[in-house]
Amino acid sequence: MINETRLLDTFLALVRIDSPSGEEAAIAQELEARLHKLGLTVELDAMHNLVARLPGQGTPFLLAAHMDTVMPGRGIKPVVEDGVVRSDGTTILGADDKAGLSVILEVLQSLVEDQPPHPPLEVVVTVQEERGLLGAKALDISRLQAKMGVSLDSGGPAGAIVVSAPSADLISAVMHGKAAHAGANPELGINAIVAAADAIHNMRLGRLDEETTANIGIIQGGTARNIVPDRVTLAGEARSRQLAKLEAQTASMVEALQAAARQHKTTVDVEVKRSYTGYAFTEKTAIVSHLMAACRAAGVEPRLVPTGGGSDANIFNTHGLQVVNTSMGAAGEHTTEECVALSDMATCANVVMHCVRSLIS
């Protein structure tokens, strides 16, 4: 049975271990020790991605989460009040995704204790999810035996099932200009900042429709007030749950850069990289229907939701697995207001427990 007190203790212990993306050694060691103690075999790769296995009967099932957290996330001091855990206000809480980790650990502990029939479980805990799914991208997914599973990395109360996620492109550009003295002979220069500004001005950015977004997030350039700048770098992105829309948006951003370069008689270097590929499931998809049934068995009405964000589930699905992201209970992720109610985490754990146990027919 899911034990709320133990679940809370696990959560408090995990959030007290600093784990900003790229600094996961300590949390990986803690998770390895806990999983090992529960009788799982544990493997860590060079990046500290963790794969653990609990034997069972039938077809293997995947439980996934990530161990890194965003900033400000050092020295987190969790405060529990009226069944809700928050930070002390100076940091994030780290429920994203330590609530997911705690749910998985509680489900495993409960299975090991009560010994009900269950499928073999493969637990994957990645690093550097928050840096662009870098851990999942580096993980040797061909080693996984599970073909289906859940990732506990969506916010909101229990019952959320993320059935579609976008594809995303990363767009990087260097707008070249020509340096000149801004007071003595500006006509000899080409202002790369002005060219970049024209390019951005001609881009459609922000929310473009309910499934497509675009952003320029970084612009850097210029060296001095009195020098016509000869170089500006830009970094942006586009996302859509429709691949054709993503490709059109990315192409239009590239064209805006090239048109501005032509207009200013200069050049631009543009690099486009597909960051991850989206997925779209329906309630008929096997994992979705299993999870919906599990929600109802746990007394929660399932909510099928789309997301505008990528997660490790995108990477698993790209490799041919069928993985949906589902809630771990947190709210206000990536802010100092982040919090999680113990009762939500416990319900999420019950959903996962029902899902796992229903896979034994």
Active site residues: 68, 129
Of residues 133 and 195, the one with the C-beta less far from Zn ion: 133
Determine if 96 is a binding residue for Zn ion (CB under 5 A). yes
Distance CA 14, CA 11 (A): 5
Q: What is the largest CA-CA distance in the chain?
A: 82
Residue in the structure block whose two tokens are 């200013």:
264
CA 317 to chain centre: 14
Give the interface size with Zn ion as a residue count (CB under 5 A).
3
According to DSSP, residue 142 is labeled G
Q: Considering only the stretches 97-105, 118-126, 182-190, 291-299, report the one whose residues sit in contact with Zn ion under the rule CB under 5 A.
A: 97-105
Distance CA 83, CA 7 (A): 12
Of residues 129 and 211, the one with the C-beta less far from Zn ion: 129
Q: Considering only the stretches 95-103, 183-191, 265-273, 335-343, report the one whose residues sit in contact with Zn ion under the rule CB under 5 A.
A: 95-103
Q: CB of residue 40 vs Zn ion: minimum separation in angstroms?
A: 22
Distance CA 94, CA 19 (A): 9
> Can you tell me which of 32, 68, 122, 153 binds Zn ion, judged by CB under 5 A?
153
Q: Considering only the stretches 33-41, 90-98, 193-201, 294-302, report the one whose residues sit in contact with Zn ion under the rule CB under 5 A.
A: 90-98
SS3 label, residue 220: strand
Distance CA 219, CA 207 (A): 20
Distance CA 18, CA 173 (A): 34
Of residues 285-304, those binding Zn ion (CB under 5 A): none
Q: Considering only the stretches 26-34, 116-124, 146-154, 249-257, report the one whose residues sit in contact with Zn ion under the rule CB under 5 A.
A: 146-154
Q: CB of residue 294 vs Zn ion: minimum separation in angstroms?
A: 21
> Can you tell me which of 24, 97, 106, 237 binds Zn ion, judged by CB under 5 A?
97
Q: CB of residue 4 vs Zn ion: minimum separation in angstroms?
A: 23
Q: Which neighbouring-strand residues pair with 206?
A: 214
Q: CB of residue 19 vs Zn ion: minimum separation in angstroms?
A: 12
> What is the pairing mode between strands 148-154 and 61-66?
parallel
Q: CB of residue 67 vs Zn ion: minimum separation in angstroms?
A: 10
- Of the candidates 198, 174, 183, 173, the one whose C-alpha atom is nearest the C-alpha of residue 228 is 183
Applying CB under 5 A, the residues found at the interface with Zn ion are 96-97, 153
